[in-house]
């Protein structure tokens, strides 16, 4: 995978660099898609709850198999496809029983490869794309699409380039090292897929022009310091300054601190399973 630049024949082409990856040009599987109506960031009452959304190209939602619940039946990769709803690509797999599913395409998975989901494995079975419970996977293996609760489906490491390292399985828990550096404990019965998510160069792209951002359904974002005091707490003042009655820190339009302010609830049930936070600090009360 590589980033492709363009000759500066147009102003936009001068700054455009896109991911050069081969994906299928065929339409997605009809039975594995469903409509995705536009909301414009508005809720059922018509009020904007997610700003800077609207417009964009029509999209179909691809139904993805996050549970990997077809056990011990091999599946062959038929195509690698683009998904407009996420940064990762998808792999269309056909099982030996005739059923087709979409899965997140890991790095290194190619058309024609065979994958399997199982509860038992030998040392030669831990290939990219295979899915097993954490308790039988060797330590130091790179994983993606990891469950937090057995049977619920993958919730961790699903975006482009993401990967989790299995540190160990002991004392009734599997210890995982997250992409952020956080160490956390997970039930060893949870399933995970071998390998890292593909399309890792997605973050190195440069869209090149405002119009390509609009194709994605993202509208312009105006800085708070460029607004008037009536519109934003950081608005107003003479020149480039943060007004709003002497408030100095950058905040959201509703006054929430925007930089470095912890918003995670202390009473979150999963806090007890976090050993080391992403900033290297241990949770309070743990040695």
Q: Residue 266's pLDDT is what?
A: 79
Alpha carbons within 13 A on the beta-carbon side of 160: 19
Domain coordinates in residue numbering, the chain: 20-201
Q: Residue 247's pLDDT is what?
A: 56
Q: Residue 245's pLDDT is what?
A: 53
Residue segments in the chain with a per-residue pLDDT below the cut of 50: none
Q: Residue 280's pLDDT is what?
A: 73
Q: Residue 106's pLDDT is what?
A: 96
Structure tokens at 144: 């993606």
Instruction: Give the Cα separation of 277 and 169 in Å (integer).
Output: 19
**pTM above threshold 0.75:** yes
Q: Which residues contact 26 (CB under 8 A, 6 or more apart)?
A: 79, 81
Strands 17-20 and 2-5: antiparallel
Look up the CATH number of domain 20-201.
Answer: 2.40.50.140
């Amino acid at each position: 995978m590589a980033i492709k630049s363009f000759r500066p024949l147009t102003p936009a082409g001068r700054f455009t660099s896109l991911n050069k990856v081969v994906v299928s040009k065929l339409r997605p599987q009809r039975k594995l898609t469903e409509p995705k109506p536009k909301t414009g960031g508005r809720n059922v009452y018509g009020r904007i709850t997610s700003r800077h959304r609207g417009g964009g190209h029509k999209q179909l939602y691809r139904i993805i198999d996050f549970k990997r619940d077809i056990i011990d039946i091999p599946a062959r990769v038929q195509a690698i496809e683009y998904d407009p709803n996420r940064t990762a690509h998808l792999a269309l797999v056909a099982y030996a029983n005739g059923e087709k599913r979409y899965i997140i395409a890991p790095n290194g998975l190619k058309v024609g490869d065979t994958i399997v989901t199982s509860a038992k494995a030998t040392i030669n079975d831990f290939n990219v794309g295979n899915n097993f419970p954490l308790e039988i996977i060797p330590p130091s293996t790179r994983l993606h699409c990891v469950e937090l609760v057995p049977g619920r489906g993958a919730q961790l490491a699903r975006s482009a380039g993401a990967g989790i390292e299995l540190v160990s399985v002991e004392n009734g828990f599997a210890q995982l090292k997250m992409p952020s550096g956080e160490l956390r404990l997970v039930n060893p019965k949870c399933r995970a897929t071998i390998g890292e998510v593909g399309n890792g160069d997605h973050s190195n792209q440069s869209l090149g022009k405002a119009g390509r951002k609009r194709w994605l359904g993202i509208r312009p974002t105006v800085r708070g310091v460029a607004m008037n005091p009536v519109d934003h707490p950081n608005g107003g003042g003479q020149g480039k300054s943060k007004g709003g009655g002497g408030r100095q820190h950058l905040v959201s339009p509703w006054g929430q601190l925007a930089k470095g302010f912890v918003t995670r609830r202390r009473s979150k049930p999963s806090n007890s399973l976090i050993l080391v936070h992403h900033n290297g600090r241990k949770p309070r009360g743990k040695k």
